[in-house]
Amino acid sequence: MLYSVLNLAVFVVLLVVLFRQQKSEKSLSVRVFTGLGLGVLFGASLQFIYGVGSGPITDTLEYVNIVGSGYVSLLKMIIMPLILVSIIGAIVKVKDTGSLGKMSGSIIGILLATTAVSALIGVFVSNLFGLSADGIVQGAREMARGEALETRLDGLANVSFADMIRSFFPGNPFADLAGSRPTSTIAVVIFAAFIGVAGVKVAKTQPEIGEIFERFVDVSQAIVRTLVRMVLSLTPYGILALMTKVVAGSNVSDILTLLNFVVASYVGLALILVMHLCLLAFNGISPLRYLKKVSPVLLFAFTSRSSAGTIPLNIETQTKSLGNGDGEANFSASFGATMGQNGCAGLYPAMLAVMIAPTIGINPLDPSFILSLVAIVTISSFGIAGIGGGATFAALIVLSALDMPVALAGLLISIEPLIDMGRTAVNVNGAMTSGTITSKWLGHTDGETFASDNEASGELKNG
């Protein structure tokens, strides 16, 4: 008990260090990287002193997680209100409902296309590293996880692609605003788009009412965005706690056992990131400047492992730092958190399928197998991220569609958090890439904002 109290005292001191940085008007990027570094050092120190899974670490992380999970919960709290008012405001201000289809079609098209390429990258790295399901040792935890996944798959057997598409529509928008369904985020986007279009139509026939509605939307946006900035100012504290939990709770021996898969995964994720940057460069967008501006978002996604929780910071960065249009920022952040995730729904299922293929007599380099795999991965990526354990769920769907055993996903339970950090960052970057390119195509990008040195949430320097 004494050790736990001492550990928590050190954690409080680290929080005070971050608070003083905030008071001294350090930029958000500096405070975020400081929180990351302190979290890694503190977590590593706990594991070095006590050993993974020890009582003092468990007790300490229980209270440290109050800060980390509390911050993620606050982010989730502002997701639905932010999406609702931002998309309505974007449509009302643009007053061009005709571009709505082009915008959403472009974003979804880019997300799905990059997911297909990500699957091919998964095939490439799996064969490059010679990954095989035969090389993974199955322990008690992994067996239990595999059995649970098979049970879960039985419950999902009757869910068709058509059912998933139908679930996108907001039958009860108030329930979706409460996040009651896995696809609630997309449903809120659709609901907000309908309200925005209705507002535009009313403004054309009844200008006075239209002006009142537009002022109401402006006030709502001002309040919600202020709320967002209040929550985002807590980002360094959240990252400190989240990173402490990840590092202190990681099992080094498990990581070393599956090191080949970990390295292959991160090589694949790096190649996907390069693909994103090449797409940006091809469209006349500086990759280096882009990376500099989005680094705080990717860093938070990496530590939080939550694509949905990153939506507010994603939108804030796209509009305030990259100069993307409000519509593109909100649509890409929302759709990118619930479909076409390059890391979770693209790379990961493809790698698992290639690993299993030789064990059931399939040549992983067979063109017909690769084409089938890429097609299934792309189609099944709809709605994946909105369901808890997005990568695992994607793997279940893909492996089942290919008539492969699904238990392998349970074999990787010990290294899941380590890989999931990189996957989440790539997922979020894919969403921002689709929004940035679409905004550029539609001529909605503010070139001066992108060319400036503004960083994400730069106005948060004073807390």
Q: What is the model's pLDDT at position 334?
A: 83
Q: How far apart are alpha carbons 382 and 173 in whole angstroms?
A: 20
- The three-state secondary structure class of 382 is strand
Instruction: Give residue 458's pLDDT.
Output: 45
DSSP secondary structure letters along 271-307: HHHHHHHHHHHHTT--HHHHHHHHHHHHHHHHHH--T
Whose tokens are 């189609």? That residue is 379
Binned average pLDDT, 10 residues per bin, the chain of 463 residues: 89 94 82 90 91 85 92 86 85 71 90 96 94 62 54 53 77 88 81 90 92 92 88 89 86 74 94 97 95 90 82 90 90 85 91 89 91 90 60 80 73 76 93 96 91 61 43
User: In the prediction, which pLDDT does 145 show?
Assistant: 54
**From the CB of residue 158, how many other CB atoms can be counted at a distance below 10 Å?**
7
In the chain, how many H helices and how many E strands? 21, 0
CA distance 345 to 126: 16
**How much is the pLDDT for 354?**
92
The predicted structure's pLDDT at residue 255: 72
| Structure confidence at residue 375 (pLDDT) | 93
